[in-house]
Structure 1
Amino acid sequence: MRLDLLLARAAQRLLDAGSPSARLDAEVLMCHVLEVDRTWLYTWGDREAEGDAEARFEALVAEREAGRPVAHLTGEREFWGLRLATSPTTLIPRPDTETLVEAALAVAGESGRLLDLGTGTGAVALAFASERPGWAVTGVDLRPEAVTLATGNAERLGITNVRFLVSDWFTALDEEGGAARFALIVSNPPYVADDDPHLARGDVRFEPRSALVAADDGLADLRHLVVAARVYLASDGWLMLEHGAGQGAAVREALAAAGYRDVSSRRDLGGHERISLGRR
């Protein structure tokens, strides 16, 4: 069957299954099968599928139809223009988190030290490091498999000014002597309440719950980091935290109560408060 007809059929199936980006999902899956980019697909869509391409594409569409994330089916996701390997053991990088990278870059000079807490795929650390080669970037994660994944992403991308460590928040830094001082500490920590209905919908059903859910209506880890990060920040250093769309006021309040100054929030692509920050 022609590629464009296969795509149209797959997009309709995914739309009927409730995918909010059915056509894009179908295109990404076909590009993965054919090992081409979307420009090639638009140019040569009237070609016939060759070999077992149709069967492999249909198999992936069926898995997406059942709810599995595209990033898990292809094993990768683009973030900040970087193609990152993904895994069911980490969160899938999302466009809204690019707001955290933008906020960090806005205050970063040509050199300094940045710490990314709960790095997952390494998305935030690698995006920042790619833009600021004069910075020394450290990413930490509790899960060894995440650190292995992030390290592999750095190696494939040729980004050399970043390292990744297994750490329960700051513990690895303490083991190194505890003298680390960072001009920037950033994090996309767990911030979803345990009873949030979104946990039963979409891609998050297939992501590690430990990377999503926090106690105290999703605020426990955010509040912990607000207090704990002060010890590791340099004078005038910034703490920047991603949080839920309705949590900005609570995070700003925690930052102010802990003595941070210049406290404010940044909005994501959808206009929701997504990042809150303060300076030590």
Structure 2
Amino acid sequence: MSRSSRRRKHAVSQLNLMVVGFSSLGKTSFIRMLFDTLGRLKEDIEPPASLSKRAETAQDAEAARTKELYSFTLDIEEEGEKISLTLVDCPGFVRDNELRLDVQVTEETKVKRNPKAQDSQIHACLYFIDNTNNGLTDKDIRILKRLTARVNVIPIVAKADLLTTTQLANLKKAINRDIKQYQIPVFDFPVDEEDGSESEVVEAFADIQTQIPFSIIAPEDAELTDPSTSEKILGRQYAWGVIDCLNPKHCDFVVLRNVLLSSHRKLFKDITLELFYEQYHDHQGTEEEIDGRFTGNLN
């Protein structure tokens, strides 16, 4: 094995993900489910206490609600690649993304740059949308326009188990209609030029695009088994049956997980560096350009 090959084998890629949206849409539950499915390099690592809070009553739910922004980092392995994954849970819309960009800009302007500096930029932001609305609200549109100017944004339909198949399809159609009408540049899953000649790749990426916004269902706390296989699952039990949150027929979590950690991970990082960071760096001194930061708590 060459020296360069050994370096690649031991290289660790950074990935920083943030979840945002109004309160009670299951953002923390999503992070908990993602945590439970990660191939952690250190199995004894426990999630933050905020992720382990369980809510059995309305009072418990209020107590367990995320009150302030927090983040934590895990070393994981995905398809043979080592990733330093940072997850950021946000109760509202704060300045975190630009503050992280500020850290990177400061590092860029040093005479001697620190070779061990961590990439603190947010590479992808999951925006959770309330499923009780018929599309995007005025606040959603206003926030998404700000977010998409600074970070790769992926829209998410929260608590999709509360919708019938027809209702979910209609809501996705309404959200995509609003995204197009108001010219909101959410991440559109382009095909890599190097893979453009491979028809199966083009077809797979086109299929991903049709699933936007992704529908997410968070599992309940109780241990459940698949009635057809008797295997333990992450799911939800209802009188009419069981939902398996890792079954692509029930929700889009598996597809989203693959997009974030595997198929589009490098693209998220490249766009963040080559587009969002450069734009921010170029306009850092222009007050009008950077004054529209996400301020205020929308909980």
Determine which structure has greater relative contact order: mean sequence separation of CA pairs < 8 Å that are 6+ residues apart, divided by chain length: 2
TM-score (structure 2 length as normaliser): 0.25
TM-score (structure 1 length as normaliser): 0.26
Q: More helix by proportion, 1 or 2?
A: 1
